[in-house]
């Protein structure tokens, strides 16, 4: 009986850990795909646990020119909204060192910037390889008046 009472909280704890792992899938972070992004301004967001980040990423000359954190919803940010964008622009990569004490906030910002970079990459792919062009519709032949 005692074993069963101990196993129930343990099972609940394990299921909570598995759910948290599934809620935050891994992100492909890394350097900017060289020359494979379209210049422009991209808005993106990301959520990591209790932290949510909205960013504006400006890409010029196929490089990250500016990263602006529009909104960061977190309990403890500790300067991540200033430090992480600067590091991303300096390194031209979304894989940078997190701010001590604001790891989850840093990860949310990095993920949001990676989402914006993915948008720029998809835009570059769509411009380079456009889909099939639609065929013009034929007009029905005119009927002679009766």
- Average pLDDT of the segment spanning 84-92: 96
Q: What residue has token string 């074993």? A: 3
- Average pLDDT of the segment spanning 49-67: 95
- Is residue 78 over pLDDT 70? yes
Q: What is the CATH number that goes with domain 26-128?
A: 3.90.1010.20
Q: Would you state the structure tokens that stand for residue 59, as one six-digit string?
A: 């890409």
Q: Would you state the structure tokens that stand for residue 27, as one six-digit string?
A: 């992100």
Q: What is the DSSP letter of 133?
A: P
Report the distance separating Cα 35 and Cα 4, nearest Å: 59
- Is residue 6 over pLDDT 80? no
- Is residue 68 over pLDDT 60? yes
Percent of the chain clearing pLDDT 70 (strictly above): 70
Q: Is 120 helix (H, G, I), strand (E, B) or coil?
A: helix
* Domain boundaries, given as residue ranges, for the chain: 26-128
**Cβ atoms < 10 Å from Cβ of 103:** 15
State the pLDDT confidence band at 61, using cuts at 50, 70 and 90.
very high
Mean pLDDT of the chain: 81
- Is residue 86 over pLDDT 70? yes
């Amino acid at each position: 009986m005692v074993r069963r009472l101990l196993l129930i909280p343990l099972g609940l704890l394990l299921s909570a850990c598995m759910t948290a792992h599934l809620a935050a899938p891994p992100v492909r972070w890394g350097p900017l795909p060289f020359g494979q992004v379209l210049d422009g301004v991209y808005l993106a967001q990301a959520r990591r646990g209790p932290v949510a980040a909205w960013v504006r990423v400006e890409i010029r000359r196929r490089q990250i020119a500016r990263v602006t954190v529009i909104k960061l919803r977190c309990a403890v940010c500790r300067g991540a909204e200033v430090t992480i964008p600067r590091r991303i622009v300096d390194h031209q990569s979304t894989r940078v060192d997190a701010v001590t004490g604001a790891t989850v906030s840093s990860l949310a910002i990095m993920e949001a910037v990676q989402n914006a970079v993915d948008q720029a990459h998809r835009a570059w792919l769509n411009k380079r390889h456009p889909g099939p062009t639609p065929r013009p519709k034929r007009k029905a032949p005119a009927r002679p008046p009766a």
